[in-house]
Chain A
Amino acid sequence: MKNCDQFRELIEAYALGALDPEDRAALEAHLATGCADCAKAVEEARWLVSQLAYTAPESAPSDMLKGRLMQTVRAEAQAQTKPHVMPAKSAIPFWLWAGVAALLVFSVYSAWNTRQLQTEIREANNRAATLDGERQKIEKQLALEKRKAMILMDPNSVKITPAGHDAQGLQLEAKWNSKLGIVVMGDKIPMPSEHHVLQLWFIPKDPKAKPMPSMMTWPDANGKFVMLVSNPPESMDNTKALAITEEPEGGSAWPTTTPRWVAGVS
């Protein structure tokens, strides 16, 4: 309590704001210790000092001051209540519109870009499929050519030629390999009639058996063709001859014309 006495003398001047820095620091340090009596005295002194406002002569400010104030206050009140009362379109800030517009543009661009990419991917897949198809075709052709070459080169292959001189002057020749197949080659072969093909037949030894239809082909512009029969009859022994007739497109189950070429097998 004795400590408080020295500070009590400072309290009114403290509330007035008249204490010099040293005294003020000392009192505030004391108040910081939690002295309730001094804190209450400071509160009372603050109220006492606030009463000094009445010693200033009252004076009316200009009407313009009130006008400015009320204008500001009304504008702020309106700005605060407007969004709650009526969220008008115009209340949406420009930057929000700009953001929405940018998002729309981006979305449209993304959709267009995605579609473009999908188209490109589809076209690339088609190109790849075409190339793959061509590759398979070439590989298949290559395999056939290899097989033809093997048949032609294999010493076990049996050469089949027409007996005697062909009346029509056709240059045809065949090689039969019981394991690899039969290759039939032609040169200077006239084109068949329109809508007709050349069809190969296996003529059996048994006179009661029907000729067995085989592959169909067209000669090229030079009258050349090469035919590969991959699955010939297992044995040459049951085949009497090979024959080629001209047949309608799509081939026939039974020879419908006189053979243009016949070569005995066995």
Chain B
Amino acid sequence: MFLAAFTSAGHREVSLDATLLSRLLQKDVNAFEQLYDRHARLVYGLVLRILQQASTSEEVVQDVFLQLWRNADQYDSSRGPFVPWLCTMARNRALDHLRLKSERQRRREDLPDELPSAVIAPEYEKALDEKRRAERVRALMASLSPQQKKAIELAYFEGLSHSEIAAALKEPLGTVKSWIRNGLLRLKEGLQAT
């Protein structure tokens, strides 16, 4: 009964996002503002975690939401939930920014305008509200070994590859591959069991 209440709240959130997105296609400014208010903290937190700099992070978040405003028709709500898609777009943007900055080639016009394809939810996905989902994911990450967690974070937040992580941690490549794979599989199992 308790879980059912959470699930129902999650469905309402998904439905509200879908409604706002359909209004966004009609260039409804109020719908855009509501979407921003609902998800800006999550997106900004993610980008700031990647870039580690407030002003640059705000710049990227601005790009992300303007892309959403201008190209909302590229998001297919029937193929997957909105928040994972938005977070994927924000992460891609932030990592692009990070890589370009590191290569001293950063130019705004070089940033790709393509939006990510839909992030399709698996069958085991449960419609949880954002707060409950965040708590669950953080709890599951905290349950991983420090090495698994570190390797996954280096890949997700810094965009490093297997061999780059192995070099950074001074660990064998095979070990790093196992940490990442096993850590993600454990995360998946935890979410399936939620």
Contact = CB atoms under 8 A, between A and B. Distances in A.
A77 B27 contact: yes
- Max chain A Cβ within 10 angstroms of own Cβ: one of B95, B141, B181: B181
Interface stretch (A38-46, A102-110, A216-224): A38-46
A100 to B, nearest CB: 31
B23 to A, nearest CB: 12
Contacts of B188: 44, 48
Interface stretch (B1-9, B13-21, B104-112, B118-126): B118-126
B155 A17 contact: yes
B165 A18 contact: yes
A83 B137 CA distance: 48
Given A18-B161, A44-B122, A52 B62 contact: no
Interface stretch (A67-75, A132-140, A142-150): A67-75
Nearest to B130: A54
A58 B134 contact: yes
B177 interface: yes
A70 B29 contact: yes
Nearest to A44: B122
B127 interface: no
B115 interface: no
Contacts of B49: 56-57
B184 A45 contact: yes
B66 A49 contact: no
Contact of B120 (A46, A70, A76): A46
Contacts, number: 147
A53 B88 CA distance: 8
B73 interface: no
Contacts of B177: 9, 13
Given A48-B191, A58-B42, A59-B45, A69 B137 contact: no
B191 A51 contact: yes
Query: Chain A interface residue count: which class?
Result: 35 or more
Contact of B181 (A12, A43, A50, A70): A12
B93 interface: no
A51 B187 contact: yes
Interface in B160-178: 160-163, 165, 177
Given A54-B138, A77-B27, A47 B125 contact: yes
A60 to B, nearest CB: 5
Contacts of A80: 27
Nearest to A8: B181
Contacts of A53: 42, 46, 84, 87, 90-91
A76 B28 CA distance: 11
Given A52-B137, A61-B58, A16 B36 contact: no
A19 B162 CA distance: 6
A66 B29 CA distance: 12
- Max chain B Cβ within 10 angstroms of own Cβ: one of A20, A49, A53, A81: A53
Nearest to A70: B33
A257 B139 CA distance: 149
A17 B84 CA distance: 16
A65 interface: yes
Nearest to B41: A58
Nearest to B137: A54
Nearest to B163: A20
Nearest to A41: B122
B80 A16 contact: no
Interface of A: 9, 12-13, 16-20, 23, 43-62, 64-66, 68-70, 72-74, 76-77, 80-81
Given A69-B66, A73-B32, 15 more contacts: A12-B184, A13-B180, A16-B152, A17-B155, A20-B161, A23-B162, A47-B120, A47-B122, A48-B184, A49-B156, A65-B44, A66-B40, A70-B33, A73-B29, A73-B66
Q: Which A-B residue pairs are the 10 nearest by beta carbons?
A: A50-B84, A53-B87, A56-B49, A18-B155, A54-B134, A54-B137, A12-B184, A58-B45, A61-B44, A44-B122
25 contacts: A18-B155, A18-B165, A18-B180, A19-B161, A43-B122, A44-B188, A45-B184, A46-B84, A46-B120, A47-B80, A47-B119, A47-B125, A48-B191, A49-B88, A51-B191, A55-B141, A56-B45, A57-B49, A58-B134, A61-B57, A61-B58, A61-B61, A68-B62, A76-B69, A77-B27
